Amino acid sequence: MRDLAYRLLVYEVGAGNASEPSEPPAIRVYEKLRLSLGEFVGVAGFQSLASRALTLARPEVPSLSAAQVAADGSLEGLGDIKAQFDMGKDSATNGEIILIARLLGLLRLFLGEALTLSLLRSTWPGEVFEDRNSLHGRKV
Amino acid sequence: MKTQDKVKINKLPTGVPGLDEIVGGGLPEFSFNIIAGAPGSGKTTLAHQFVFANASEERPALYFTVLGESAIKMLRYQQQYTFFDPAKLPRSIRFINLSQVVLEKDLGAVLEQVTKEVEKSNPAVVVVDSFRTMVRKPESDMDLQSFIQRLALFLASWQATTFLIGEYAEEELRDNPIFTVADGLFWLRQTAERNSIVRKLQVIKLRGQDSVPGLHTFRITDAGVQAFSRTFGLTARKRNPPSNRRLSFGIAELDKMLDGGVREGDSVLIAGSSGTGKSVLATQFIAEGIRHGEPGIVAVFEERPEAYAERATSLGLDLETPQKDGKLTILYLRPLDLSVDETMQSILDAVEKIGAKRLVIDSLAGFEMALSPGFRADFRESLYRMIFALTGIGVTILSTVEVDESFTEFPFSTYSISFLTDDIIRLRYVSIDGQLRKIMVVIKMRGGNHAKDIREYEITSKGVVILGKRLANYQGLISGIPVRVDRPNSAEEPSQDTGIEHKT
């Protein structure tokens, strides 16, 4: 799932350059997931999944220790980590990848890869999911 | 009103094998339906099958989940079924969670949310799972009846076929307004009977369509819900007119006793105790049919098909080649937990597949024992329905049944099923001259003549061989302990008498 998380982030980096959004790519990926999955699993359902993903990511990304998932599923208390994410506006940082990868990993665990990809395809364009190695020349 | 003036109601495939037949060809388009039943009865699975069978990107399905099972867990489990196609999500099938609006707002807000999503997606199918939890708040501003009425009107106007799923008790049927508004009401039941679970489906109501009444067995397998219509899908088939064609057993003397053979489309019962040759006769009957180009099915319950075919080989009958050629199917219906209707459906499917003209059920006792205890009570009724359906399309059925040998009576069957057989051949042991010998007699042939002779037979390497003439020198043969009597030679050897009793 790190590979897929990386590709979603890379896509958002590209999309960010085009429209100059204010949020770092990791937050944009997270928010898109929150909105699309929230419709499907409900706000409380997404909040539970995101909390678990955050817990799983913390040991690998200590700077996430202050982060929390709010009742509506949004990320709070990012502080320094948001600044780090901001620094990585033009590229995906390891911390970003891990957080998103953990969330996607939970989806794959519960729903399987085929269904997870089907759900993501409704939010991101198909090319993000095609030819995994060609996007960045490496498997993450 | 003329037929051409009536509105045509499109029928949608239910996606549930067997259910289309039960609902009269498919579910009426734009109908507003309830699937009710206890937890674990298969409500959600049935709804998913309908959704996957009908949703498309142009006309998607909206699946509203409310409280209870989370969508993530629901999909985790549902994707185990073979009908589940993950590629259909989320463009053709959208899952929308309404928990928050249900928990935090009133029914008016719920209706508003449903309306918004339906208007956005233009769905062909809408499911609310569970509707019961959606309307759980009695203090809602909007009256429940008004909510249901408006929801039903809105969804029908938007040309959506709707399923509301709920855990309802049958006592609620009278008072709950939802059941009045619904066009279709499907009730799923499961009960434990001894060590088995018996699942039954009932279409309590279905407006505008001629559904099959009664309780239909269903099973949940890895393919989802499979229903077994009480009419076995043969209601629409035209019954063949009675045939005068006779089918041979391949035993000349027995054919003579039957006035030329079994009448095509008859149900024949061969009754006798263990070792009297019931299965041998049945095998000869099926093999003779194959020789005449009539495909056959043998349903066995007590031995495996290989053993059955091997035994036939020892009688000089080749059942291997016709199996390879698609002219014969030996169905081994495994014991344990079979419902009578699904067993019969297996037989019917096999009959249909090879165009069988002859069917052997060997034996009825084995058949009954293969059923789960809860279904045994329905055995005779189901057997009657199957025999009626199959003989109606010209299949000739030969069933064997073991009867307890008694020396004081002469029972035809322990099942009291002679009413559903046209012809009965009785085999039994008799004690003659210090030997245990075998006799057979044709007890009845509905609508035809038959010999009244009691004939001795043997089972040889060529199968059943009927010996000599009728046993004229004994009285009390059917008691099993006959008494020898002296008769004049003319009576002892009725050389020209076929023993046929000609009915007028």
Q: How many CB atoms lie within 10 A of CB B344?
A: 25
Once rounded to an integer, what is the mean pLDDT over residues B149-153?
89
Q: Which two tokens stand for residue B74?
A: 């629901």
Confidence at residue B26, expressed as pLDDT on a 0 to 100 scale: 95
What is the tens place of the pLDDT at every residue in B88-134?
998 899 999 888 888 888 888 889 999 999 999 999 999 999 888 77
**Do residue A38 and residue B97 have CB atoms under 8 angstroms apart?**
yes
Distance from CA of B223 to the nearest CA of A (A): 18
Q: Which two tokens stand for residue A107?
A: 């989806």
- State the count of interchain CB pairs (< 8 A) between A and B: 63
B194 sits in the region (left: phi over 0; alpha: psi -120 to 50; else beta) called left
Cis amide linkage into residue B305, ω under 30° from 0: no
Q: Is B43 helix (H, G, I), strand (E, B) or coil?
A: helix
Confidence at residue A17, expressed as pLDDT on a 0 to 100 scale: 59
CA distance B480 to B174: 60
Chain A residue numbers with beta carbons less than 8 Å from the beta carbon of B72 are 40-41, 45, 49, 110-111
pTM above 0.80, yes or no: no
Q: Is A64 helix (H, G, I), strand (E, B) or coil?
A: helix
CA geometry: angle B105, B109, B113, nearest 5 deg: 120
Report in angstroms the alpha-carbon separations of A33 from A122, A124, B211, B267: 11, 10, 45, 65
Confidence at residue B504, expressed as pLDDT on a 0 to 100 scale: 45
Considering only CB atoms, A119 lies closest to which of B90, B99, B100, namely B90
Cβ-contact B375, B338 below 8 angstroms? yes
What is the tens place of the pLDDT at every residue in B59-75?
999 999 987 677 888 89
Strand B474-475 relative to strand B483-484, pairing: antiparallel
DSSP-assigned letter for residue A122: T
Confidence at residue B419, expressed as pLDDT on a 0 to 100 scale: 67
- pLDDT of B318 > 90? The answer is yes
Cβ-contact A137, A11 below 8 angstroms? no
H-type helices in chain A, by residue range? 2-19, 25-41, 43-57, 80-87, 94-111, 113-121
Report in angstroms the alpha-carbon separations of B206 from B29, B50, B55, B431: 12, 16, 22, 62
- The distance of Cα B414 from the centroid of its chain, to the nearest Å, equals 22
- B66 → chain A, closest CA residue: A42
Cβ-contact B203, B186 below 8 angstroms? yes
- pLDDT of A80 > 70? The answer is no
The H or E element spanning position B180 is helix B177-181
Distance from CA of B69 to the nearest CA of A (A): 10
CA distance A94 to A60: 9
**Do residue B90 and residue A49 have CB atoms under 8 angstroms apart?**
no
Considering only CB atoms, A111 lies closest to which of B76, B91, B99, namely B76
Q: Is A98 helix (H, G, I), strand (E, B) or coil?
A: helix
Confidence at residue B357, expressed as pLDDT on a 0 to 100 scale: 95
Task: Spell out the residues 6+ positions from residue B175 whose beta carbon is closer than 8 angstroms to its own.
Answer: none
Q: What is the torsional sign of CA B202, B82, B93, B53?
A: negative
Confidence at residue B161, expressed as pLDDT on a 0 to 100 scale: 96
Distance from CA of A61 to the nearest CA of B (A): 27
Considering only CB atoms, A119 lies closest to which of B70, B89, B98, namely B89
Confidence at residue A79, expressed as pLDDT on a 0 to 100 scale: 63
Helix B144-157 and helix B107-121, axial crossing angle in degrees, nearest 10: 10
What is the tens place of the pLDDT at every residue in B391-405?
888 899 999 998 877
Q: Which two tokens stand for residue B204?
A: 């309590």
Confidence at residue B140, expressed as pLDDT on a 0 to 100 scale: 54
- pLDDT of B142 > 70? The answer is no
Q: What are φ and ψ of residue B391, in 5° steps?
A: -65, -30
The residue with greater pLDDT, B379 or B372, is: B379
Confidence of residue A85 (pLDDT cuts 50, 70, 90): low
**Do residue A45 and residue B71 have CB atoms under 8 angstroms apart?**
yes
Name the β-bridge partners of B263. B246
- pLDDT of B13 > 90? The answer is yes
The radius of gyration computed from the CA coordinates of chain B, to the nearest angstrom, equals 29
What residue type is A58 in one-letter code?
R
Confidence at residue A139, expressed as pLDDT on a 0 to 100 scale: 40
DSSP-assigned letter for residue B303: S
The residue with greater pLDDT, A19 or B397, is: B397
Confidence at residue A16, expressed as pLDDT on a 0 to 100 scale: 64
> B147-156, B213-222, B271-280, B484-493 — which is least confidently predicted?
B484-493
CA geometry: angle B224, B233, B210, nearest 5 deg: 95
Confidence of residue B484 (pLDDT cuts 50, 70, 90): confident
Confidence at residue B415, expressed as pLDDT on a 0 to 100 scale: 60
What is the tens place of the pLDDT at every residue in B187-215?
999 887 777 778 899 999 999 888 999 89
> A72-86, A108-122, B463-477 — which is least confidently predicted?
A72-86
Confidence at residue A21, expressed as pLDDT on a 0 to 100 scale: 52
Average per-residue pLDDT for chain B: 86
Share of chain B above pLDDT 70, in %: 88
Q: Which of residues 65-84 of B touch A (CB under 8 A)?
A: 65, 70-73, 75-76, 79
Once rounded to an integer, what is the mean pLDDT over residues B239-254?
87
Q: Which two tokens stand for residue B378?
A: 């329905």
Q: Minimal CA–CA distance to A129: which of A93, A95, A104? A: A104
Confidence at residue A138, expressed as pLDDT on a 0 to 100 scale: 39
- pLDDT of B311 > 80? The answer is yes
- pLDDT of B254 > 90? The answer is yes
Q: ipTM for the complex?
A: 0.72
What is the tens place of the pLDDT at every residue in B157-186?
889 999 999 988 888 887 787 888 899 999
Considering only CB atoms, A115 lies closest to which of B65, B86, B94, namely B86
Confidence of residue A20 (pLDDT cuts 50, 70, 90): low
Cβ-contact B480, B430 below 8 angstroms? yes
> A16-30, B99-113, B125-139, B362-376 — which is least confidently predicted?
A16-30
The radius of gyration computed from the CA coordinates of chain A, to the nearest angstrom, equals 14
Distance from CA of B57 to the nearest CA of A (A): 12
Considering only CB atoms, A111 lies closest to which of B72, B91, B97, namely B72
CA distance B74 to B79: 8
DSSP3 helix / strand / coil % (chain B, rounded to 5): 30, 30, 40
Task: Spell out the residues 6+ positions from residue A123 whose beta carbon is closer than 8 angstroms to its own.
Answer: A32, A33, A36
CA distance B71 to B268: 54
Q: Is A124 helix (H, G, I), strand (E, B) or coil?
A: coil
Cis amide linkage into residue B86, ω under 30° from 0: no
Average per-residue pLDDT for chain A: 80
Q: Which two tokens stand for residue B355?
A: 């165009």
- pLDDT of A135 > 60? The answer is no
CA distance A36 to A48: 15
> A112-116, A135-139, B97-101, B201-205 — which is least confidently predicted?
A135-139
Cβ-contact B90, A119 below 8 angstroms? yes
Confidence at residue B489, expressed as pLDDT on a 0 to 100 scale: 58
Q: What are φ and ψ of residue B361, in 5° steps?
A: -115, 110
Q: Is B352 helix (H, G, I), strand (E, B) or coil?
A: helix
Cis amide linkage into residue B157, ω under 30° from 0: no
Q: Which two tokens stand for residue A31?
A: 């928010």
What is the tens place of the pLDDT at every residue in B333-353?
765 566 777 777 888 889 989
Cis amide linkage into residue B130, ω under 30° from 0: yes
Strands (E), B47-134: 61-65, 93-97, 125-129
Confidence at residue B439, expressed as pLDDT on a 0 to 100 scale: 93
